[in-house]
């Protein structure tokens, strides 16, 4: 079962585009079947964003848990995804 990654973004947010690029690069390098991701426009899904605690963009949630409230480095995002993938395999 793939892990679910959500990138919370807002229209016109330059860092949000960077977050999506970094995530796409990591997914392509790892295994696109192991990670399922989607972009969440906070204007369209405001209630959901607030429910998770998103206060600014970009923010990244993995499996419904808000992990990053700002653009993480590629290394930090990769480490978090690797840990979630490792945990998913061991379950």
Query: CATH number for the domain including 77?
Result: 3.40.30.10
Given this model, what pLDDT does residue 2 score? 87
Instruction: Give the pLDDT score at 7.
Output: 97
Report strand pairing: 59-62 vs 65-68.
Answer: antiparallel
Number of domain units in the chain: 1
- pLDDT tens digits, one per residue of 15-65: 999 999 999 999 888 877 889 999 999 999 999 999 999 999 999 999 999
Give 74: exposed, middle or buried? Use CB within 10 Å, 0-12, 13-18, 19+. middle
Which tens digit of pLDDT belongs to each residue from 52-86? 999 999 999 999 999 999 999 999 999 999 998 88
Reported as half-sphere exposure (CB side, CA atoms, 13 A), residue 22 has a value of 22
Q: Which residues constitute the domain of residue 15?
A: 3-90
pTM: 0.91
Tokens of 16: 């949000």
């Amino acid at each position: 079962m793939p892990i679910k990654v959500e990138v919370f973004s807002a229209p016109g947010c330059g860092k949000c585009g960077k977050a999506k690029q970094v995530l796409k690069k990591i997914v392509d390098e790892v295994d696109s079947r192991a990670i399922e991701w989607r972009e969440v426009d906070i204007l369209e899904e405001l209630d959901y964003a607030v429910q998770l605690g998103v206060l600014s963009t970009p923010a990244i949630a993995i499996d419904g848990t808000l992990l990053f409230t700002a653009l993480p480095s590629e290394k930090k995002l990769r480490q978090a995804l690797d840990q979630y993938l490792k945990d998913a395999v061991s379950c």
